[in-house]
Chain A
């Protein structure tokens, strides 16, 4: 597994996977929500879809999919998985 440099989930393109490193900034409510839905260190995520205007994005986490606004996805630090 090759590790690229860390980036945010907002930069990950459709069809690509990444490993979550952690969360930065963002409101406590947002962080709690993301954490409880499985966006924790070591989780694999995959961007499965993008809305017509590019925002929000549809991300697979654990065995379900969640929709995230780009502003929210930018708080999730990931390492792309190639």
Chain B
């Protein structure tokens, strides 16, 4: 990817072209097509909204080809609202460096509503091109838009395109080139009033439309925003009547028919259950093999490196520290890729809105909203992609709450810890029903996490009472065949963003944990953890964790599992000098012996299990939380809050267990 454009350090510099439009109008598809692989994703300064900027090859003035910066503005329905997306769009369009041209992407099947934003863009007096996207769908629906008439009515260039098929793009590019070489601005479009500024602060247009003379019944006084919107739509419907062969249709179509099934009282939730179950299965189970392959691959590289570097601290650093760190970073990629593949397909096809629609009422009980469900569900596979997935939640307040409760969902990395402890300490006795006592305990741990999440969500919601929720008002996008191109590109973007933003933290933390757990090394080749830095810290915190039933060895295990939770099992295996290829099973056996010997008791095991349900000591999770919230205080709060809860719950568990079992 080309880094010619230094976009984000304090705004857009140099000449650029904006791509604006409603959400779901195919703007992203067009942007991808125009820029090819020449684009990058970054954050707008100070907010967590992402900015996509790229390079469009054009021929301007001379015949040589050069590149023009293109920025994909956030999808908005208007420029007069107060949401972050709209603020960003209006700031970019009216700031110190306005674009040289604006491409307004319009969904041809929804011309009237899409022209609202266009009318506001015209107000801004920027050189404008209207790109009528999805013109193939419009034709199929019997909507005939007369391009030349529309262009004359709006007084801007109008081009018909089908972005996902790549049709009309050359014409669009030529239109952009023409506009850049001789910029014209639309005049005489629409008038608000001769001497009144529009309520939104955007300067008024000209000419006088007719207002529908509908009785208002004296019930209320329309405010300036309403009047303005009303006038705009009157103007727009006149234009559409003149330039469209068919007015806004109100007959049911394929989307409506599908929806009567998908949002049905019974079939809606049933379909949802199967779809979400399938998504979960994909993210949880199908990622196993790629993850194992990655781990195996890195081990192979490690073995090769061990072969060519002589034994010593350098080799240990490279293989056990850095390489292991990189491996623990890359191992996240399959789950992130699969989750965003599913989300991308669900979103592009239009099903995601239906899922949110069905779930919204249920989720709202906990201070969340419909779209929170999928990210939270994926957290059961892994918190990292789950938190990244919260970007599908448009409202900042609900998004934050969802992120903050994500770690309560027991991720798959906690399973080795759960299974070792349950295997060693919970008898296999069958209970009434089809689950053994072991199964019941495991289920209980997951449910405990969910209860913790619900309580926290309600608490956070109370705390943020004053912070306004964004309106739910959600467009039910028409069902479309998802564009694999766009979805895959989105997956790649997510992976790159993940590696770029959290890569250093993850690898570094792995190296630090390895270092602390290895040095200082006793002279013999035995692995005595007691004398290492990690062991010393474990011994140091032992008085604090003894009320939880933990000794210094467990302390070391908890500290080392900061880099990755699974490390706990191997650390403990090391401590108890378990030498084998299957640390989990042999550790369980070893622990069982210790239990019988009274060295590692049931209360300790229970306390440890509870600790792992509630503790957030996964650094990758905290790093992703930082990236997605854009502030340090959230991961810090998350860590502090959950550590406190983990400590208290663990304490209660241990003391109660000791009381009852003695």
Report the Cα distance A72→B226, complex, angstroms.
16
Encode contact with B along A52-81: 1 for CB under 8 Å, 0 otherwise. 111110101111111111001000010000
> Is there contact, CB below 8 Å, between A69 and B113?
no
Give the complex CA separation of A42 and B231 in angstroms.
11
Nearest-neighbor residue (CB-CB) of A28 within chain B? B82
Q: Tell whether, in the assembled complex, residue A63 and residue B256 are in contact, meaning their CB atoms are under 8 Å apart.
A: no
Q: Which residues of B contact A19 (CB under 8 A)?
A: 214
How would residues 342 to 370 of chain B score, 1 for a CB under 8 Å from any chain A CB and 0 otherwise? 00000000000100111011100000000
Contact B216 A21, beta carbon cutoff 8 Å: yes
A22 to B182, CA, bound (A): 43
Interface string of A21-35 (1 = CB under 8 A from B): 111100111111111
Residues of the B chain whose Cβ atoms lie less than 8 Å from the Cβ of A69: 360, 472
Cβ A52 vs Cβ B269 within 8 A: yes
Interface pick from B42-50, B260-268, B286-294, B487-495: B260-268
Q: Given contacts A21-B217, A42-B230, are A72 and B472 in contact (CB under 8 A)?
A: yes
**Contact partner, A53, options B250, B362, B470, Cβ 8 Å:** B362
B226 close to A35 (CB less than 8 A): yes
Q: Smallest CB-CB separation from B472: which chain A residue?
A: A69
Which residues of chain A are near B212, meaning CB under 8 Å? 41-42
Residue of A nearest to B112 (CB): A62
**Is B518 part of the binding interface, using a Cβ–Cβ cutoff of 8 Å?**
no
Is B82 in contact with A29, judged by CB distance below 8 angstroms? Answer: yes
User: Which residues of B72-107 have CB atoms within 8 Å of chain A's CB atoms?
Assistant: 77-78, 80-83
Q: Closest chain A residue to B263 by CB distance?
A: A49
Q: Enumerate chain B residues within 8 angstroms of A6, measured Cβ to Cβ.
A: 217, 219
Q: In the assembly, what is the distance between CA of A40 and CA of B356, in Å? A: 26
Flag if B81 contacts A33 (CB, 8 Å). yes
With CB as the reference atom, state the residue of chain A lying closest to B369. A69
Determine if B117 and A55 form an interchain contact, defined as CB atoms under 8 angstroms apart. no
Within 8 Å CB of B214, what residues of A? 19, 21, 41-42
Bound together, the chains give a CA A19 to CA B229 distance in angstroms of 16
Q: Which residue of B lies closest to A5 (CB)?
A: B217
- Across the interface, name the chain A residue whose C-beta is closest to B248: A63
**How distant is B507 from chain A, measured CB to nearest CB, in Å?**
42
B471 touching A62, Cβ below 8 Å: no
| Distance in Å: Cβ of A37 to nearest Cβ of chain B | 6
The answer, yes or no, to whether A46 is at the interface (CB within 8 Å) is: yes
Contacting pair A36 B80 (CB below 8 A): yes
Partner of A51, one of B113, B260, B361: B361
Instruction: Tell me if B597 counts as interface (CB < 8 A to partner A).
Output: no
Least Cβ–Cβ distance between A57 and chain B, in angstroms: 9
B274 at the A/B interface (Cβ < 8 Å)? no
B332 to chain A: closest CB distance in Å? 33
Q: Which of A21, A29, A67, A77 contacts B353 (CB 8 A)?
A: A67
Contacting pair B358 A63 (CB below 8 A): no
**Closest Cβ of chain B: how far from A69's Cβ, in Å?**
5
A27, A33, A58: which contacts B77 (Cβ < 8 A)? A33
The answer, among A32, A54, A56, for a CB contact under 8 Å with B225, is: A32
Would you call the interface of chain A mostly helix, strand, loop, or mixed? mixed
| Chain B CB within 10 Å, residue with most, of A50, A55, A56 | A56
Q: How far is the CA of A27 from the CA of B249 in the complex (A)?
A: 31
A23 CB contacts on chain B under 8 angstroms: 226
In the bound complex, how far is the Cα of B468 from the Cα of A4, in angstroms?
35
Known contacts A29-B470, A40-B233, A58-B259: does B225 contact A64 (CB below 8 Å)? Answer: no
Question: Do A29 and B476 touch (CB < 8 A)?
Answer: no
Q: Is the CB of A41 within 8 A of B472?
A: no
- CB pair A58–B250 under 8 Å, yes or no, is no
- Shortest beta-carbon distance from A38 to chain B in Å: 5
Cβ–Cβ < 8 Å partners of B358 in chain A: 51-52
Q: For the complex, is B474 an interface residue (Cβ under 8 Å from A)?
A: yes
Known: A32-B80, A48-B259. A63 touches B113 (CB 8 A): yes
CA distance A34 to B233 in the complex (A): 13
Cβ contact of B468, chosen from A29, A42, A63, A68, cutoff 8 A: A29
Q: Which residue of A lies closest to B359 (CB)?
A: A51
> B221's closest neighbor in chain A, by CB?
A22
Given the known interface contacts A27-B471, A77-B220, the answer about A41 and B230 at a Cβ–Cβ threshold of 8 Å is: yes
**B223–chain A nearest beta-carbon distance, Å:** 8
* Bound Cα distance from A67 to B259, whole angstroms: 12
B281 sits at the interface (CB 8 A): no
Closest B-chain residue to A27, C-beta based? B468
Query: B475 near A: Cβ within 8 Å?
Result: yes
Distance in angstroms between the alpha carbons of A37 and B219 in the assembled complex:
23
Q: Is the CB of B109 within 8 A of A56?
A: no
Contact call B77/A66, Cβ cutoff below 8 A: no
Measured CA separation A28–B263 after assembly (Å)? 29
Q: Give residues 239-255 of B contacting A (CB, 8 Å).
A: 248-250, 255
Q: Write the chain A residue with the least CB distance to B470.
A: A29
User: Closest CB of chain A to B131's CB: distance in Å?
Assistant: 18
A67 x B473 contact (CB < 8 A): yes
Assembly CA distance A14 to B255 (angstroms): 17
Contacts A21-B214, A62-B248 known; A68 to B473 CB distance under 8 Å? yes
Q: Among A27, A53, A63, A77, find the residue whose CB has the most chain B CB atoms closer than 10 A.
A: A63
Chain B's closest residue to A32 (CB) is B81
Q: Are B78 and A51 in contact (CB under 8 A)?
A: no
Are A41 and B226 neighbours in the complex by a CB distance under 8 Å?
yes
A41 surroundings in chain B (CB, below 8 A): 212, 214, 216, 222, 226, 230
Of A37, A44, A48, A52, which one neighbours B113 at CB under 8 angstroms?
A37
- Contact call A40/B357, Cβ cutoff below 8 A: no
Q: Given B216, B260, B357, which contacts A67 in the complex, CB threshold below 8 Å?
A: B357
Closest to B252 in A: A48
In the complex, A72 Cα to B217 Cα: how many Å?
22
Question: Given A21-B217, A21-B219, A40–B229 Cβ distance below 8 Å?
Answer: yes
Q: How far is the CB of A70 from chain B (nearest CB, A)?
A: 9
B473 with A30: CB separation less than 8 A: yes
**Beta-carbon contact of B217 and A56 below 8 Å:** no
Contact A55 B475 (CB under 8 A): no
Min distance, Cβ A47 to any Cβ of chain B, angstroms: 12
Task: Chain A residues near B552: list those with CB within 8 A.
Answer: none
Binding site for B on A (CB under 8 A): 6, 19, 21-24, 27-38, 40-44, 46, 48-56, 58, 60-69, 72, 77
Can you list the 4 inter-chain pairs with the closest CB atoms, starting with the nearest? A36-B78, A35-B229, A42-B212, A53-B361
7 example contacts (A-B, Cβ-Cβ < 8 A) are as follows A30-B473, A41-B216, A49-B260, A60-B250, A61-B113, A72-B472, A77-B219
Known A37-B473, A58-B263, A65-B255; further 5 A-B contacts with Cβ < 8 A: A35-B229, A37-B113, A42-B230, A65-B256, A66-B474
